[in-house]
Amino acid sequence: MIGNIREYEFETDVLIVGGGLAGNNAALGALEKNVKVIVADKGTLERCGATAGGVDHFMAYLNTGPWDTREAYLSYVAKIARGAVDLKVQDAVFCKELEAALERMEKIGCTLKQSDGKYLRTQSLGQPGPYFINFNGKNLKPALAKEARRLGVFALERCMMTDLLYDGERVIGAVGFNIRTGDFYIVKAKATILATGCTTRLFHNPTGLPFNTWQCPQNTGAAQVMAYKVGAKLANMEYMRITVVPKGFSAAGLNALMGMGGRLINAYGEEFMAKYHPMGNKAPRSMLVYAVMKEIQMGNGPIYIDCTHLSEADLNHLKRTLGYDKDTLPDFLEQKGVDLSKEPLEVMYSEGMQAGPSEVCGSGIMIDERTSSSIEGLFACGDCTDQMRCVHLCTTGGYLSGKVAAEYAKNYSHPIRVDKKEIQRLKEAIYRPLWVTGNLDHKTVENVIRRVMWEYAGPVRNEKSLNLAIDKLQSLKEEAQALKAKDFHELMRVHETNQLIDIGTIMCHASLERKETRFGIFHFRSDYPETKEEFEGEIVIFQKDGKVVKEFKKLSYDKIP
């Protein structure tokens, strides 16, 4: 039966898996070095990834005042992401690339400026000053894709990559399949960049709709799993990230609402944030989420974001721009009959994700100052790495990753030897769910994964619950062997389900090692409720000879690089 599957082989200098914000910027960085670039994505370049529908803020320092310098920015980074962020990497992947990135945004036709030619800057989420440049990012993704196509990218669209090709010394490409036609793809590459974002659909979703996620629902940790399988080091994997969303609708928008001056109130109309953090409503996200959960637990819910006190101009701006992130958010408010100028908006904590604990660092493949992973030939950028996330870092760091990978490819002098037997093994494993007998579907298994993760490895965890979660995920892994795919779309879903099981397991192992609580409920260990200085660093996790290995990477905050 597998003989009926069409097979295509490609060869390139740089392969980028994931054509979202980071992957697309990586493509520009590499293409500008005049190398051959293939980008593979489950969607189309114009509208795939977290920024598909638009975004509304870009974090930056612009040297307008003492809080607005590189040093001040890095001090802020050290404060809000202490223990998870590496300042040297941050300097390399963001500060050194920022100016060029701002110029590039203008060049590709996605300006960060308002119609009056000025930046509109807002402050929220723990910032010492208004670091967020508010902008209309609806056109960002199509503009990036247009530029990548102009420079000659070869896009493998509607394509899920499942495994890296590894010759025992270095990564030499990847394999995957077309989710519409089922065609099998072998891509041989001198350099490979992974950029498939964070992991969504992993935790129980309070809206009851697992695909209604805060971040991109197509991202199920492919990069992290692929890298882990070939022995690459992962870091920050223990963190679960949550946000505050409108009740019943998981959507980005918190920065816009709080940045414009929104305040959190409880059922009694009391503003409560000052009880939880000295910055009150401008506190870091982890504290906003923690406070909302706590107030609900104490019986002070429902919780609301109140914007009724805002000036008419600010409210108008908000109403006009709230859909920049997600078109459907204004529709949702309209259908609910909520007018922000007249009444507060009921909010709730969102589903959890495996993602970095702050706006300035991620969770996943451990990268160095050049975005290299611990495996030769393998680079990574964006939300799937331990040191990037959000628009500002995916733009700057993504571009850097493309440049570095292109240079690596230009200096590459080894033959790319692909083992035919290994290809056949991978191919059989990819298509196996199509031939499985039985009716076990991915939705059933995914629902169990989400329950297990939320209840045993969610906002509250301890040693016993984490070990229980690992056991349950192990059983699910065995059951997942019987998962049936009726078509190629379902085949993608089955592989995503398997990735979720793997990510959940890695996350629990990493969490067991972090015997402390850090970033509020982003890593809350009920058996270790204190934050400890000895844990100011990353839990590094990888696989060696089939065994899970854990290391600790101490991070220093003594001086700004």
Ligand X SMILES: Cc1cc2nc3c(=O)[nH]c(=O)nc-3n(C[C@H](O)[C@H](O)[C@H](O)COP(=O)(O)OP(=O)(O)OC[C@H]3O[C@@H](n4cnc5c(N)ncnc54)[C@H](O)[C@@H]3O)c2cc1C
| Torsion 82-356-368-391 (CA) sign | negative
Smallest separation, CB 254 to ligand X (Å): 10
196 makes contact with ligand X (CB under 6 A):
yes
Q: Which 3 state secondary structure label does DSSP give 188? A: strand
Based on its alpha-carbon atoms, the radius of gyration of the chain, rounded to whole angstroms, reads 22
- Given the complex with ligand X, which of 159 and 340 has the nearer CB atom? 159
The residue within the footprint of ligand X, chosen from 55, 172, 273, 503 (CB under 6 A), is 55
Taking CB under 6 A as the rule, does residue 195 contact ligand X?
yes
Q: Which stretch binds ligand X (CB under 6 A): 15-23, 91-99, 237-245, 305-313?
A: 15-23
Closer to ligand X at the Cβ: 163 or 306?
A: 163
As measured in angstroms, the least distance from the Cβ of 185 to ligand X is 10
Output the smallest distance, CB 496 to ligand X, in A. 8
The answer to whether the CB of 493 falls within 8 A of the CB of 485 is: yes
Element (H, E) at 353: strand 353-354
Applying CB under 6 A, which of residues 14, 22, 145, 264 lies at the interface with ligand X?
22
- For ligand X, the binding residue among 12, 14, 15, 19 (CB under 6 A) is 19
Q: Does 133 bind ligand X (CB under 6 A)?
A: no
Residue nearest ligand X by beta-carbon distance: 20
For residue 495, which of 160, 237, 170, 235 has the smallest C-alpha distance? 160
Part in contact with ligand X (CB under 6 A); list of ranges 5-13, 380-388, 468-476, 501-509: 380-388
Stretch that binds ligand X, among 80-88, 189-197, 234-242, 286-294 (CB under 6 A): 189-197
**Amino acid identity, residue 372?**
S
Interacting residue with ligand X among 18, 210, 284, 402 (CB under 6 A): 18
Judged by CB under 6 A, the stretch of 18-26, 368-376, 404-412, 527-535 that binds ligand X is: 18-26
Q: Does 56 bind ligand X (CB under 6 A)?
A: yes
Instruction: Using the minimum distance from each CB to ligand X, give the nearer residue, 57 or 523.
Output: 57
- Residue 48 in the binding site for ligand X (CB under 6 A): yes
Residues comprising the chain, all counted: 561
Q: Which stretch binds ligand X (CB under 6 A): 338-346, 377-385, 507-515, 549-557?
A: 377-385
Closest CA to 101 of 390, 379, 408: 390
Minimum distance of ligand X from residue 218's CB (angstroms): 4
| 405 contacts 189 by C-beta, under 8 angstroms | no
Longest dimension (CA), the chain: 69
Rounded Cα distance between 324 and 322, Å, is 6
- How far does the chain reach from its first CA to its final CA, in angstroms? 58
- Can you tell me the distance from the alpha carbon of 219 to that of 197, in angstroms, rounded to the nearest whole number? 6
- The answer to the question of residue 216 lying near ligand X (CB under 6 A) is yes
23 binds ligand X, rule: CB under 6 A = yes
Residue 324 or 535: the one with the smaller Cβ distance to ligand X is: 324
Which range touches ligand X (CB under 6 A), out of 193-201, 303-311, 464-472, 541-549?
A: 193-201
Strand partners, 133: 58, 121
- Please, which of residues 227-256 interact with ligand X by CB under 6 A? 252
**Ordered DSSP codes for 93-151:** IIIHHHHHHHHHHHHTT--SS-TTSS-EEE--TT-SS--EEE---TTHHHHHHHHHHHT
On the CB side of 331, CA atoms within 13 Å amount to 7
Q: Identify the H or E element spanning 448.
A: helix 442-457
Cβ at position 163, least distance to ligand X in Å: 10
- The residue whose two tokens read 């706006």 is 359
Q: What is the DSSP letter of 153?
A: P
Q: Are 392 and 23 in contact (CB under 8 A)?
A: no
Enter the tokens of residue 196. 């498939």
Q: Determine if 219 is a binding residue for ligand X (CB under 6 A).
A: yes
Smallest distance from the beta carbon of 359 to ligand X, in angstroms?
A: 7
CA distance 545 to 542: 10
User: Is residue 478 classed as helix, strand or coil in its secondary structure?
Assistant: helix
Member of 91, 238, 325, 502 binding ligand X (CB under 6 A): 325
Q: Which residues bind ligand X (CB under 6 A)?
A: 17-23, 40-43, 48-51, 53, 55-57, 160-161, 195-197, 215-216, 218-219, 222, 252, 325-326, 382-384, 389-392, 394
